[in-house]
Amino acid sequence: MSTKAFGNFAPEKPLELLQIQRREVTDIDVEIEILYCGICHSDLHTARNEWMGAKYPVVPGHEIVGKVTNVGSKVTKFKVGDTAAVGCMVDSCRTCEQCQCGNEQYCDEGAVYTYNSNDKHLNTQTYGGYSEKIVVDEAFTLKVPENLDLAAAAPLLCAGITTYSPLKHWNAGPGKTVGVVGIGGLGHMAIKIAKAMGAKVVVFTTSLSKVEDAKRLGADDVVLSTDLDEMQKHFKTINLIIDAVSAPHDINMFLKLLKVDGTLVLVGAPMEPLPVVSFSLIGGRKSFAGSLIGGIAETQEMLDFCGEHNIVSDIELINIQYINEAYERMLKGDVKYRFVIDMATLKNN
pLDDT tens, position by position, 38-88:
999 999 999 999 999 999 999 999 999 999 999 999 999 999 999 999 999
Read off the pLDDT of each residue in 323-344 and give the average, rounded to a whole number.
95
Q: pLDDT for 156-209, tens place per residue?
A: 999 999 999 999 999 999 999 999 999 999 999 999 999 999 999 999 998 888
Dist CA 114 CA 180 (whole Å):
28
Read off the pLDDT of each residue in 337-347 and give the average, rounded to a whole number.
95
Confidence label for 247 from pLDDT (cuts 50, 70 and 90): confident
Beta bridge mates, 134 = 32
pLDDT (0 to 100) of residue 222: 96
Read off the pLDDT of each residue in 324-339 and give the average, rounded to a whole number.
94
Q: Which is nearest to 36 in space by CA: 150, 141, 115, 136?
A: 150
Q: pLDDT for 221-240, tens place per residue?
A: 999 999 999 999 999 999 99
pLDDT at residue 348 is higher than 80: no
Contact (Cβ atoms closer than 8 angstroms) between residue 83 and residue 144: yes
pLDDT (0 to 100) of residue 243: 97
CA distances 230 to 204, 205, 206, 226, 303, Å, are 10, 12, 12, 9, 35
- 16-21/2-7 β-pairing: antiparallel
Packing angle, helices 296-309 and 185-196, rounded to 10? 70
State percent of the chain over pLDDT 90: 93
pLDDT (0 to 100) of residue 182: 93
Peptide bond into 273 cis (omega under 30): no
Dist CA 285 CA 276 (whole Å):
14
> What's the residue count for the chain?
349
Please report, as a single letter, which amino acid is at residue 120: K
Read off the pLDDT of each residue in 272-286 and give the average, rounded to a whole number.
93
Q: Is 343 exposed, middle or buried (0-12, 13-18, 19+ CB in 10 A)?
A: buried
R_g of the chain, CA atoms, integer Å? 20
Q: pLDDT for 131-156, tens place per residue?
A: 999 999 999 999 999 999 999 999 99
Q: Which is nearest to 129 in space by CA: 66, 61, 56, 36?
A: 61
pLDDT at residue 283 is higher than 80: yes
Contact (Cβ atoms closer than 8 angstroms) between residue 245 and residue 181: yes
Dist CA 23 CA 29 (whole Å):
10
pLDDT at residue 119 is higher than 90: yes
Q: In the chain, where does the domain assigned CATH 3.40.50.720 lie?
A: 160-290
**Alpha helices (runs of H) in 206-295, residue ranges in sequence order:** 211-217, 228-233, 252-255, 278-282
pLDDT (0 to 100) of residue 80: 98
Cα diameter, the chain = 64
Contact (Cβ atoms closer than 8 angstroms) between residue 126 and residue 176: no
pTM of the model: 0.96
What CATH superfamily is the domain 160-290?
NAD(P)-binding Rossmann-like Domain (3.40.50.720)
Q: In the chain, where does the domain assigned CATH 3.90.180.10 lie?
A: 2-158+294-348
pLDDT at residue 260 is higher than 80: yes
Q: What sign does the CA torsion over 180, 182, 187, 188 have?
A: positive
Dist CA 182 CA 257 (whole Å):
15
Please report, as a single letter, which amino acid is at residue 148: L
Degrees (nearest 5) of the Cα angle 26, 29, 30? 135
Find the distance separating the first CA and the last CA of the chain, reported in whole Å.
18
CATH architecture for the domain at 2-158+294-348:
Alpha-Beta Complex (3.90)
Among left, alpha and beta (phi > 0; psi -120 to 50; other), residue 182 is left
